[in-house]
Structure 1
């Protein structure tokens, strides 16, 4: 099972006079991950190394450190903590003592891992795409219930009779939620899977 962070977290340490600050945050898309990195990088620092993972997509950067000594160890820390939909930025202020590529990999990967370990993790639930058409008379009530059931509304398209809701819902609850919607709408609301 994969996990993400409930909220951003931070870890600081000094290694042979170099200061490291690891910042991690949930990121549900590559764009959100890149935005987090852009917003939290420090131009005054020696290096802003980072990695993110969103499902099958991932990226990392060594930001001037020797190849493979920073970004890849940060990504390895993300994967080692069974994290997904997470961005990690490790900022380094050089302290004058060379760490070597092995020392850099341990410093960056270790800071990232300790940051993720210190954060509050929540399990990622597999979400299933679905849709249903809701009459106008039921729309406000159905929206409130969907929020209670942890179903997110991705989009709404209105027509003369109501709204077509594009939803993302916990996969293991599809049948249960379909029945609840049908009951609430007195048989008028049918939950359908979409591709």
Structure 2
């Protein structure tokens, strides 16, 4: 992702795909995925769902700049499962996504080319039915202001089409807003011009 890109593609909700070859069945599960801590639970869930499956291979990509990824062959020959799954994610240019392919062995060895193809096609099938959505990279800012400045702040929020994530109105008002990365400098300049208004960067989402 270049410095000027602030958008990325991911999937909206979980999706499944199936591929069969010589008696073996490959079931692909694609998940929206932003936290590596979820991985163990998802794998455990799939192992409980498919106790007789031979392999649970996976790959994921994380972060809007698409730099974080991992693959796992789960006992399949090296490079025949996790990498083909990841290659589909790369070719579709999706991130914040996990794909786990569950394999039932059918008794006939597929060989390296057969395995690579099976894991690739199963993943493609899942992504074909998934809803791929474009998202923007946003910074969250916390704005603190006197109640009397409410109109000025709300005008800015409306003008810049900011998403309010949380708000608390009292004598001192606090509001968390989401600002698209490309628009941050402009919004900050406008905040600077408002009297008795303070702001701070919280995180990127």
Q: Is TM (by shorter chain) over 0.5?
A: yes
1:2 corresponds to 2:8: yes
Aligned equivalent of 2:95, options 84, 99, 117: 84
Q: What corresponds to 2:3 in structure 1? A: none
Residue 111 of structure 1: how far off its partner (Å): 0.9
Select which of 108, 120, 133 maps to 2:144.
133
Gaps of 5+ in 2: 1-6
Q: CA deviation at 1:121?
A: 0.5
What pairs up with 1:145-160 in 2 under 5 angstroms? 149-150=162-163, 152=165
Contact 2:11 2:133 in 1 (8 A): yes
Is 2:37 aligned against 1:46?
no
User: Partners of 2:34 and 2:134 in 1: how far apart?
Assistant: 13
Shift in Å, 1:66: 0.4
Q: Given the alignment of the two structures, is residue 171 of structure 1 paired with residue 177 of structure 2, yes or no?
A: no
Shift in Å, 1:28? 1.7
Query: Which SS does the other structure have where 1:80 is aligned?
Result: helix
Counterpart secondary structure, 2:52: coil
CA distances 1:105-129 after superposition (whole Å, capped 9, x unpaired):
1100121122112200001312224
Shift of the 18–135 alpha-carbon distance from structure 1 to 2, 3 Å rule, reads farther
Q: Does structure 2 conserve the Cα–Cα contact (< 8 Å) formed by 1:151 and 1:169? A: no
Answer yes or no: is the 8 Å Cα contact 1:151–1:170 preserved in 2.
no
Count how many residue pairs are aligned between Structure 1 and Structure 2: 185
Unaligned runs of 5+ in 1: none
Of the two structures, which has the highest relative contact order with CA contacts closer than 8 Å and spacing of 6 or more? Answer: 2
The TM-score with structure 1 as length reference comes to: 0.76
